[in-house]
Amino acid sequence: MIVNINNSDVGINNLSTLIRKLSFIFNYEGKNVPNCEFKITATKLDAVSALVIFKAFDFASKYSCLESPKANLNNILKLFSIYGIENLMKKLVNQEEADGLYNNLKPSKTADFFIAPHPINRESFKNKQDLENKYTQFIADYYQNICPELVQYFKTCICEIASNFLYHALEDNNSILMAQGNKKKIEIVCVDNSKGILTTLNPDNKDHFQVMRSAFQRGVTSKKDEFHCGTGLWYIEKIAQQLNGTLRVYSEDMLYVFKDGKVFVKKSPYWKGSIFYLKLNILKNTKIDDFFAKFNNPNKLDLFNTQ
């Protein structure tokens, strides 16, 4: 079997195509299927496509799906070097142990943009502490002179996304959170192979449209007794709404899209786990603070805050 991935299979608008080409991996768990070859001939790779391909190889390696798969490693390493994960990718393609490399991920920036990968590892306290301090500070510093009023919202999105993946993705210790951006936008991506939203939220409900839609409603969580609030996805969507952003979440066989102020929930090719993509635009003179301040109900709680 040959899996061809070219320019028409990558990019945020082609993500369903890419998932369709890779989802066969999830049927091969433990089967060591021989004679599989990956020809990745795309000339450039966006962050979400990179992480989807990366996680497909991670799953194949971890669960012995393929026997000695072949791949055009030179082009693959070139494509993944942009994101600083080429050595990890090489290990996964060669089906070698890669866990030690996750701690070496580092953000980088040029004059025009930054790319910041970070491991999301539930077992590693160091990674969590780094996420809370170094990683988000790097992104905050980048935007401090560009849009200081929006930095708290970018940090909030990273905080909620990381929190979601840390505490819901219990079976996957090797996810990567990737943020990249420039003066016009920030994109935040995370992909995992854990239980998806549908299985986590309501495994018995066959109405996947309804379950997926409900995941983005305020106060809906599978873990209220573990101190979750069920606010994260709703909150991120509202931030996207205020910043003319885009949110795409693939989980199992469903896709949730918020774009141009509208929500679409559709069937999707199967992905084991979740794929999270958020784009926020850098806008001036937004009313985002006013929007969220109205949810802080001073009459009910009487909280006291001074500036």
Partner 1 sequence: MEINLSKYGKIISTDDTSNTILREIEASLKNNEPIDINALDVVISTKSARLIFGILYKKLSKINFNSKIHFKNASTTFMFAVNEGILTELSD
- Report the 10 Å Cβ neighbour count for 17: 15
Structure-token match 């409603």, residue found: 217
Cβ proximity of 22 and 50 under 8 Å: no
Residues 133 to 152: which contact partner 1 by CB under 8 A? 133, 136-137, 140, 152
Q: Which CB sits closer to partner 1, 2 or 227?
A: 227
Cβ proximity of 183 and 202 under 8 Å: no
In sequence order, which ranges of 183-302 are alpha helices (DSSP H)? 197-201, 208-214, 232-242, 288-293, 298-301
Q: Is 60 in the site for partner 1 (CB under 8 A)?
A: no
Q: Per-residue contact track with partner 1, 69 to 108, x per CB under 8 A?
A: ----------------------------------------
- Report the 10 Å Cβ neighbour count for 19: 20
Nearest to 276 by CA among 198, 176, 202: 176
Q: How far is the CB of 180 from partner 1 (least distance, A)?
A: 19
Cβ proximity of 164 and 231 under 8 Å: no
Q: How far is the CB of 1 from partner 1 (least distance, A)?
A: 41
115 φ, ψ (degrees, to nearest 5): -135, 130
Helix (H) or strand (E) segment spanning residue 17: helix 15-22
Q: How far is the CB of 303 from partner 1 (least distance, A)?
A: 6
Q: Per-residue contact track with partner 1, 230 to 269, x per CB under 8 A?
A: xxx--x----------------------------------
Q: Which CB sits closer to partner 1, 49 or 121?
A: 121
Q: Which CB sits closer to partner 1, 171 or 289?
A: 289
> Which of 29, 106, 183, 229 lies at the binding interface for partner 1 (CB under 8 A)?
229
Helix (H) or strand (E) segment spanning residue 54: helix 47-62
Binding segment (CB under 8 A) for partner 1, from list 42-50, 61-69, 158-166, 191-199: 158-166
Rounded Cα gap, residues 49 and 191, in angstroms: 10
Rounded Cα gap, residues 58 and 56, in angstroms: 5
Q: Which CB sits closer to partner 1, 144 or 210?
A: 144
Binding segment (CB under 8 A) for partner 1, from list 3-11, 162-170, 191-199, 272-280: 162-170
Cβ proximity of 273 and 194 under 8 Å: yes
Q: How far is the CB of 143 from partner 1 (least distance, A)?
A: 13
Binding segment (CB under 8 A) for partner 1, from list 30-38, 58-66, 89-97, 224-232: 224-232
- Report the 10 Å Cβ neighbour count for 158: 25
- Report the 10 Å Cβ neighbour count for 232: 22
Cβ proximity of 251 and 274 under 8 Å: yes
Residues 277 to 306: which contact partner 1 by CB under 8 A? 289, 292-293, 295-297, 300-306
In sequence order, which ranges of 195-231 are alpha helices (DSSP H)? 197-201, 208-214
> Which of 160, 172, 187, 192 lies at the binding interface for partner 1 (CB under 8 A)?
160
Q: How far is the CB of 267 from partner 1 (least distance, A)?
A: 30
Q: Which CB sits closer to partner 1, 30 or 125?
A: 125
Catalog residues that contact partner 1 under the rule CB under 8 A. Answer: 125, 128-129, 131-133, 136-137, 140, 152-153, 155-156, 158-160, 162-163, 166-167, 219, 224-225, 227-232, 235, 289, 292-293, 295-297, 300-307
